[in-house]
Amino acid sequence: MKNTIKIVGKKNVPTELFQGILQGLQSLMTLMTPELIAQISKLWLTSIFTPAQTEEDYKIQVALLDILLESVDDDQQPLASLVEILGTLVAVYEEEHYPIGSVSNNVALTFLMEQHCLKISDLSEIGNQKEMSEILNGKQSLNTQQIDLLSQRFHVSPSIFS
């Protein structure tokens, strides 16, 4: 169904209705005591925010997270903890089902150069043009000094180039 959200293990709910429920909860939570908020959070954790078991569950959680992110714009809002919890559940599923593989140091360097609009000649402190060309083509490895210089220049961990 278009314009609906399926709550994990529940029926489809119209998107506008769900957004209204979230807004109502947000308003209501400003009036509640910490103890009551804790009880409600426990209920949400056990019935709605359970780890995704299927791709469909994952898509539902992503849709819910998107809606929450539109409603919650800082960490001080009452629903911010729900955003954090749901974000963690989504990340866990993604790490397990969509792992990001490591990239070679020449691919990482090429990406960073493109992001910073740099040419080989802009990295003369790392090596001459021939040496840099061989590094970027994967024919030569970076040495420790080059890795340190690159990590400082791009403000990234040296492990990216190791």
Answer yes or no: are the C-beta atoms of 85 and 45 closer than 8 Å: yes
**pLDDT at residue 22 tops 80:** no
In the chain, where the domains are located: 1-31, 34-99, 105-160
65 contacts 83 by C-beta, under 8 angstroms: yes
pLDDT at position 1: 47
Comparing 2-11, 78-87, 112-121, the range with the smallest average pLDDT is 2-11
Give the separation between CA 143 and CA 146, rounded to whole angstroms.
Answer: 5
Class of domain 105-160 (CATH, top level): mainly alpha
pLDDT digits over 107-151, tens only?
999 999 999 999 999 999 999 999 999 999 999 999 999 999 999
Phi, psi of 118 (to 5 degrees): -105, 150
User: What is the pTM (predicted TM-score) of this model?
Assistant: 0.43
Tell me the C-alpha distance between 2 and 10, whole Å. Answer: 16
Average pLDDT over residues 32-61: 75
